[in-house]
Chains A and B, each alone.
Chain A
Amino acid sequence: MSVQPEWPLYEIFVRGKRGLNHVHVGSLHAADDEMALRHARDVYTRRNEGVSIWAVRADLVVASIPDEKDPLFATACDNVYRHTTFYAIPDFGPHM
C-alpha cells in the first residue's frame, strides 16, 4: 500500500530537571532534526516531564553487542579490588 520510505528513527533523551542526566525515554520517526525535537516535545513531555531534550539519529548510535557482553564486561567482575567490599575495616572504625 504505502511505498513511502520510512522517515529516520530518532532516539529521544529527556532531562527531567536541572541536575539530572538526560535519560532515554523512547524513540520516534521524523523527517529531519527539527521535526524530531518538535515531535519529542509532543510525544514525551506533555506533562512537565522535562526541561531539555536530546534527539539522536538511531543509526548514529554506537552500541556494544549483547552476545559479547560476557567478555566485554568480564574484567569489571574480576577486579574485586575496585569494590568497597574488598576492604575490611573494623565496625568500630570511622564511618566511610
Chain B
Amino acid sequence: MTDTLEADFERTIEHHDRIEPRDWMPERYRATLVRQIAQHAHSEIIGMQPEGNWLTRAPSLRRKAILLAKVQDEAGHGLYLYSACETLGVTRGELTDKLIAGRQKYSSIFNYPTVTYADVGTIGWLVDGAAICNQVPLCRTSYGPYGRAMIRICKEESFHQRQGFELLMTMMSGTDEQRAMVQESVDRFWWPALMMFGPPDADSPNTAQSMTWGIKRDTNDDLRQKFVDMSVPQAAVLGVTLPDPALAWNDQRGHYDFGQPDWAEFAAVVAGSGPCNAQRIAHRKRAHDEGAWVRDAATAFARQEASL
C-alpha cells in the first residue's frame, strides 16, 4: 500500500505538480516542510520587532503610517504561513510554544538591533530585497498551501522594498549627516543580509533533499549571487558604498565576485548569542502572555453566545 502511495507522491513531484494537505507524503517531507514553514512564519512575527522599534519615533505622520502598514503586513504574512503550516497537522499553540522555547528558529537577521531610523530604510531595501530573492522561487514550491501563501506574500513584499529604497533616497538627498547615517546603516546590514540565504551550499545539509522534493528551487549560493547582482546597481543609484573590498564585476562569469560573510558570527547568532536573541524571544513571550486575557475573554464570550 505504502509503495503505491509513495509512487504517487514521487510521480506528482516529478511532474512539478503540487502536493496538497490530505495527500499521502513521506514523514520526512512533512517534517522538513513544518521546520521550514514554521521558521518562515516565526521570522515574519519576530520581524515585526526591529521595525516596530521605530513606530513611535518615525519622523512624520506619513512615515509612521507607512511603517505601521508594513509591520501589520508582517503580522499578516506570519498568519498566512502559520495556517499553511497547520495544514501539515501541527497546531498554532504548538508552533508558538516551540518558538518561545527556542526549539524552532527564525531568520538570524532579526537578531540585529535597529539603532537608527535609517535602519528602517535599509531593512526595506536589503532585508526585504533578500527575502524577495528567497521567496519568489518558493511560489513554485511543491507543497500547495506554502506556494499559495508565498504568492500573497511576494505581492506585498515589493511594496516593502520600494518604501525602504524611497526612504533611503530621501535621506541621501538630505544633509551630510543623513547621508552618513544611511551609509553607516548599510555597513551594518550588508553582511547579515548576505547571511539570510543560509550557509554556503557545501555546508547546507538539507539543500539537496529539499531540492529533490521541489521544496526549494535554488541553492543558497545561487540566491546569494542573485541578490548581490541585484543590489550593486541599486547601491550605485542610492550613492552608498557596499562594505566589501572584494566586490568586483567578473566579466567571465557574468556576475559580481564578492567576499564571504563571517560564518562564525552566523553560527553564533543562529545558536542564540546574537545581539538581540534573548530580547526578541522575551518580547514575544511577554506579548503572548499579556494577550492571554484577551483570548480567554473572547473564548468565554463565544461560549456564552453559543449557549443563548
Contact = CB atoms under 8 A, between A and B. Distances in A.
B40 to A, nearest CB: 15
B53 to A, nearest CB: 22
Contacts of B72: 42, 46
Interface stretch (B27-35, B79-87, B171-179, B262-270): B79-87
Contact of A29 (B69, B92, B152): B92
A92 interface: no
B24 A67 contact: yes
Contact of A28 (B79, B87, B101, B299): B79
A31 B298 contact: yes
Contacts of B101: 1
Contacts of B288: 2
- Of A1, A6, A9, A67, chain B has the most CB atoms within 10 Å of the CB of A1
Given A2-B93, A6-B91, A43-B76, A32 B305 contact: yes
Contacts of B86: 9, 27
A28 B83 contact: yes
A4 B298 contact: no
Contacts of A73: none
Interface string A26-60: 11110110010000001100110000000000000
Nearest to B20: A66
- Of B72, B93, B149, chain A has the most CB atoms within 10 Å of the CB of B93
Contacts of A32: 298, 301-302, 305-306
Contact of B96 (A2, A27, A66): A2
A35 to B, nearest CB: 6
A31 B91 contact: no
A43 B91 contact: no
A77 to B, nearest CB: 17
Contact of B97 (A2, A28, A35): A2
A27 B305 contact: no
A6 B288 CA distance: 14
Given A31-B298, A32-B305, A43-B76, A66 B23 contact: yes
Contact of B301 (A31, A42, A46, A66): A31
Interface string A1-35: 11011110100000000000000011111011001
Contacts of B301: 31-32
A45 B176 CA distance: 41
A46 B295 contact: no
Contacts of A62: none
- Of B20, B73, B298, chain A has the most CB atoms within 10 Å of the CB of B298
A5 B288 CA distance: 15
A63 interface: yes
A9 B299 CA distance: 13
Given A1-B97, A28-B79, A67-B24, A7 B299 contact: yes
B115 to A, nearest CB: 29
Contacts of A65: 22
B80 A63 contact: no
Interface in B65-109: 69, 72-73, 76, 79-80, 83-84, 86-87, 91-93, 96-97, 100-101
Given A26-B149, A32-B302, A32-B305, A1 B92 contact: no
Contacts of B20: 66
A63 B20 CA distance: 13
Interface string B277-288: 000000000001
11 contacts: A1-B101, A2-B96, A2-B288, A4-B292, A26-B80, A29-B92, A32-B298, A32-B302, A32-B305, A32-B306, A46-B72
Complex A-B, nearest 10 residue pairs according to Cβ-Cβ distance, in ascending order: A32-B302, A31-B298, A31-B302, A27-B83, A1-B97, A66-B22, A2-B93, A43-B79, A31-B299, A66-B23
